[in-house]
Structure 1
């Protein structure tokens, strides 16, 4: 039965339109995986000598165990955002005499072989070999390896429980952030010294192979919880149920002042309000607004004011970037209908520009309290806002003419890579790195004010040449019109 499942999934994978259209992206992901493998392997080799050299009075093995608490927190957080429960197309199987228990066991067993579960081994095994060569007890080190293997699987199944309980909400990331934030808060302020408790527990468990039974029982419990959670949803009528939704309307007559772009602007505003993925991306704006608090209070960055430009672009352009990188894929579900109407393409694109430009101005107004950290911060935010409106809006609109991936508006936004292609990865370079470079050169050669002047001046040039830029971008969209219609018709 397992071999049948594997064969069916392999055929589905190689025959899907997504695979055929995304070979380059898949190759890119392979290189990313190889990069992380080399990084983790390098860490495993260098960890012992680095700790021994910088902390000669401490035991490197104990130091690593003291940081396991933070390792597990980071692992859980990264898994929630990047790792998804491996699923298979079970709907056709539900009408066949296939044992549902075997289907669920196969799905959960497949998750055990996730890349995230093997990645830590490239650090753990080299570090363990060095420990053994340095005279550490072989049994104790082997118990430590097995304990970390079990702990990795515990985090794996714990992540699926958290994700399964929160997947139906708009703020799906809130539970994991609350859990991680609470644990870190309790440990940081010594309310509960969780890192010390975990350090003691790890040393106790690896002292005898018999004690490994305890984490194994925890793993089996989490596996059973995941099994019960999935088996309860594995019914045909579960997928046939329709959700009753109440349509709400709002008065958007104020948008009529924008002329011919008003109908498309109203369409975008309703989409943002009524659909899960774009509505969730609006909530991400709140996270972006407080992004500066990571950098501005930190003394390290006060002498690196060039980083403030990156922060300013990000804070004032968080919505612009999140929304703009998926133009026109937001409308992919009805793009063919939209393009069949007798509408000027320029008015359609102008509405996107107005929405992005307005968001940058609003974010600048909301970020004015950052003046608490100095007038230079406010100046940088102002220059970043001008640059975002004058340059980055046009960059995103132009990049959108290369979008060929459909978006499901009913899915959540947080770390959802559906609809993401090479365009979204590459567009980050001109969006974030170019303005940093434009500021850095005059700032380094002349002074801070000259860097601000250059950044603001280039943004103003974008305003002055807006009509010509929009004409060029509109022509590019018209040339790509039928390619996009055909691409959006495909199921990714």
Structure 2
């Protein structure tokens, strides 16, 4: 039966209208996946020796165990935002003599082989092999590895239970941030207590059976939830949801662009993919911790500029590159209305600039790393507000891919084309190159000045740039309508 399901899904994939489109994007996504796999594999193989070299007085396994709690919570947040729920087009099968339990078990079993579950194994398995070769107790290491696999699978099924619950995301994020804060300010030694749990599993592998119980319970909860929904009347029934309207009257002070901004804010919060982009932008605030806490990057200031742009530009970069494809489902209707195209574009600009400003204010804690670091973040924010916001609007005029806002998660390439990858060059590499050149041949402060100047000059010429961009959109108006009318 499972082989039959797999054949049906393969036929559905190769016969779909989307198959064959954006082959370059699919290949590029494959390269990204391969990159992450090789990275995790390299860390898994060399992690033990790197830790042994950097911390000669510590046990590498105990070091890894000490931070596993943070990794697990971070993985849950990432899964919530990026992982697709296990789906299968089962509606046509409900009238066939197929056991509904088989359908449910297949869907859940299929989810166990998702990219998120496989990726972690490229670290844990090589790391475990190295531990055994270095003389660690084989039974203990295998028990530890078995526990890691159980945790990965448990996180997979837990994510499916909480995926549509925003409160769960807030709770998990609050727990993670609280634990980081308790450790950072020496209130509670979270690293030590967390490490003791996993050290105990290595010392007594029998404790790994607790993970089996947790996994079985989560699987059964998922099974019952899906099993109760696998009915024909449930599949064909029209879903009626109560519309909830938030008070967005505060946007009225923005004038003529207020109606468009209200629509954008509703669109962002009511749809999976845009909500993911919005929430992910706050995670980019922590991107700088990877760079500013690593002495290696102190010798590569251009890479610090790269991080600075991402800290405040997470929303603008991820949302702006798909303008106006976010509105593709109702673009034809929008273009039939009586309004200046300029107002539609300015609403997008105001939204990107506002979010960049909010993210900049939230980045104030980076003052902890020094004035130079915060100055670089400030320069990045100015460049994002001045140059990047306008460039993203212009690049949007080349978008020809429709986006289904109800679909979200990792691997969703709807709306993605070569355009999205080409615009990364001026958005990220241009300021990095400018900063590198002026820093190397003129002086460190001159790098700040030139990048900030480009942002300020772009802001000063905003009206001229907007007129140019508006004319480009008007010129391509009917081409875009025709492209968005096609199925994604």
Task: With the length of structure 1 as denominator, give the TM-score of the two structures.
Answer: 0.79
Distance 1:290 1:44, change over 3 A: closer
Residue 450 of structure 1 pairs with residue 443 of structure 2: no
Residue 32 of structure 1 aligns with which residue? 32
Deviation sequence 1:397-428 (CA, Å, 0-9, x none):
1221232343444567x879464524444433
Residue 270 of structure 2 aligns with which residue? 276
Correspondent of 1:227 among 223, 228, 232: 223
Deviation at 1:30, TM superposition (A): 1.8
Deviation at 1:200, TM superposition (A): 1.2
Moved more, 27-36 or 267-276: 267-276
Deviation sequence 1:215-243 (CA, Å, 0-9, x none):
43433232222212222333444453210
Contact 1:80 1:159 in 2 (8 A): no
Residue 148 of structure 1 aligns with which residue? 145
Aligned residue for 2:189, secondary structure, equals coil
Moved more, 319-328 or 68-77: 68-77
Correspondent of 1:338 among 305, 313, 334: 334
Contact 1:285 1:319 in 2 (8 A): yes
How far, CA to CA, are the matches of 2:189 and 2:68 in structure 1?
17
Moved more, 186-195 or 78-87: 186-195
How far, CA to CA, are the matches of 2:288 and 2:122 in structure 1?
34
Contact 2:117 2:152 in 1 (8 A): no
Distance 1:383 1:266, change over 3 A: same
Residue 402 of structure 1 aligns with which residue? 398
How far, CA to CA, are the matches of 1:167 and 1:236 in structure 2?
23
How far, CA to CA, are the matches of 1:44 and 1:407 in structure 2?
37
Contact 1:273 1:279 in 2 (8 A): no
How far, CA to CA, are the matches of 1:231 and 1:306 in structure 2?
53
Residue 324 of structure 1 aligns with which residue? 320
Cα RMSD, aligned residues only: 4.1
Unmatched 5+ stretches in structure 2? none
Residue 92 of structure 2 aligns with which residue? 92
Residue 428 of structure 1 aligns with which residue? 424
Residue 245 of structure 1 pairs with residue 243 of structure 2: yes
Contact 1:124 1:145 in 2 (8 A): no
Contact 1:370 1:377 in 2 (8 A): yes
Deviation at 1:378, TM superposition (A): 6.4
How far, CA to CA, are the matches of 1:49 and 1:378 in structure 2?
34
Deviation at 1:107, TM superposition (A): 0.8
Task: With the length of structure 2 as denominator, give the TM-score of the two structures.
Answer: 0.79
Structure with bigger gyration radius = 1
Unmatched 5+ stretches in structure 1? 257-261
Deviation at 1:155, TM superposition (A): 2.5
**Count of residue pairs brought into register by the alignment:** 477
The within-5 A match list for 1:81-480 is 81-130=81-130, 140-141=138-139, 144-145=141-142, 148-149=145-146, 151-169=148-166, 173-181=169-177, 189-190=188-189, 193-205=193-205, 213-239=209-235, 240-247=238-245, 251=249, 253-256=252-255, 262=256, 265-273=258-266, 275-277=269-271, 278=274, 309-310=305-306, 312-341=308-337, 344-357=340-353, 359-360=355-356, 380=376, 383-409=379-405, 417=412, 419=414, 421-422=416-417, 423-463=419-459, 465-466=461-462, 469-478=465-474, 480=476
Contact 1:346 1:471 in 2 (8 A): yes
Contact 1:324 1:397 in 2 (8 A): yes
